[in-house]
Amino acid sequence: MPTFRTPAYYTLCYSDAGHGPAVLFFHPFPLDRHAWDAQVAALVPEHRVLAVDFPGFGESGPPPAGLTLASVAANVSRLARGLGLERLSVVGLSMGGYLALELAAQDTPLVERLVLADTRAGADSAEGAAGRERFAKRAEKEGIGWIADDMLPKLLRRRPDIQVSRRVAAAIALATPAGVAGAQRAMAARADHRGTLETLRMPALVITGTEDALISPEESVHMAELLPQGRLHAIPGAGHLSELEEPEAFNRALVSFLTE
């Protein structure tokens, strides 16, 4: 897999396949770029598709202390421009959505179309950030064995598909304590981009699972209203990981948005 060595002393690993208009995927926490396999497969016949592993996940290198989403976004922008890409569509789900929004805020001309799935624009409350620090410390102390039990009920719909549960648990088992801690701290320190939304004039699609237990569909409705060219697509019966629970419905919405 190609690897980009950032000036901030960490590496970003990414997949890069196909030809055509470029689409870049950012995965949710605590998974890796394979969370997007079904979407990559759907787009690759007619697009160039890139999917990046967040530092400490998949094949990317470990996160440095003090990693921020702003740093990851800046380095993804360098990576894309280094590949000669001047315009691309960006798709992010949850943590990946925080990163997509950060990239769109930092390098707006790069982002042709924006897809924000099961995510939010606001920053953490003090209480939320403190909860993330507890999560990070527990991962550093106990490892990651407890995370699937803790998170699966929040990531999936009320009555999840057993295959999807197994797949997500197996993906979580590949996470590293350092990656988990780094991502939690980076998310806790992220900027509040609610005010940024109205400045992002590119076509934007906001996707929400109607059973998202982590980020309420109402937040997505509001985000779509604030984006000048925002539109909302709700996926009935999907939980937070809507791209994994309802990949066909997700792909239909995605492909129709990217090819209209």
Binding site for ligand MLT (CB under 6 A): 28-29, 94-95, 187, 214, 240
One-letter identity of residue 189: A
| Closer residue to ligand MLT (CB): 87 or 137 | 137
Residues 6+ apart with CB under 8 A from 197: 121, 223, 226, 227, 230
Q: H/E element holding 127? A: helix 126-142
Least distance (Å) from ligand MLT to the CB of residue 20?
28
- The label of the residue with tokens 């598909």 reads 161
CA-CA distance, 254 to 235, in Å (whole number)?
Answer: 12
Least distance (Å) from ligand MLT to the CB of residue 214?
6
| Closer residue to ligand MLT (CB): 92 or 230 | 92
CB atoms within 10 A of CB 70: 17
Least distance (Å) from ligand MLT to the CB of residue 189?
12
Q: How far is CA 62 from CA 108, 132, 172, 181, 204, in A?
A: 28, 18, 16, 11, 32
| Closer residue to ligand MLT (CB): 14 or 29 | 29
Q: Which residue is nearest to ligand MLT (CB)?
A: 94
Least distance (Å) from ligand MLT to the CB of residue 240?
6
Least distance (Å) from ligand MLT to the CB of residue 43?
21
**Cβ(142)–Cβ(180) below 8 Å:** no
| Closer residue to ligand MLT (CB): 47 or 184 | 184
Least distance (Å) from ligand MLT to the CB of residue 18?
25
| Closer residue to ligand MLT (CB): 46 or 124 | 124
Q: Which of 104, 134, 98 is nearest to 214 (CA)?
A: 98
- Structure letter (DSSP) for residue 53: P
Q: Which of 224, 246, 257 is nearest to 47 (CA)?
A: 257
On the CB side of 75, how many CA atoms lie within 13 Å of its CA?
A: 24
Least distance (Å) from ligand MLT to the CB of residue 21?
26
| Closer residue to ligand MLT (CB): 132 or 233 | 132
| Closer residue to ligand MLT (CB): 4 or 29 | 29
